Amino acid sequence: MKSNKIMTNNNCKSFTPSIDNNSRILILGSMPGVKSLDEQQYYAHPQNRFWKVMGSICNVPNLHEYSYDLKLKTLLNNNIALWDTIKTCEREGSLDSDIQNETPNDIRKLLKTYPNIKTICLNGNKSYTAFKKYFPELFEKYSCHKMPSTSPANARYGLDKLIEEWSVIFV
């Protein structure tokens, strides 16, 4: 269901987590981009490689072509939860470098509610730096991985390199 106005005066708000009691891996983005906020779907921008990377890792090559609900179910079936490090922020456009006045999501509470999570993957630099700023003690309790961003803004990484780097989550 689409909201009529997701961004007002450049205020952004993250989505609820996609998670269940079987989740063992938590992937945290920073804040959904404009297209994702408009569509109310994680990684909705067609050039974002997230769903292609997850499709490869989950052995579902066409995952990026699935409906959004099936994409989320595929992740959950592979024990992967999805959320964002940042709950709210101000940002014009979609670039993480433009994020200002951020507030974090309550990741501590989420992890207490879902104790099977053992691994946390931080999608990109902004997710990593925000997580490190607000939750430094979690690095000692969980296996945390700074992952290369799947965003099209991360031109340094081709799809094959992203898949190779992200494959660590199943090691």
- The helices-and-strands tally (H runs, E runs) of the chain is 7, 7
Could you list the beta-strand ranges (E) of 37-161. Answer: 80-84, 86-90, 100-104, 119-123, 143-147
Bridge partners, 147 (sequence order): 123
| Residue numbers annotated as active site | 48
What's the DSSP call for residue 18?
A: B
**Pairwise CA distance, residues 39 & 90, whole Å:** 18
The string of DSSP codes covering 125-139 is: HHHHHHHHHH-TTHH
The closest of 71, 59, 76 to 23, measured between CA atoms, is 76
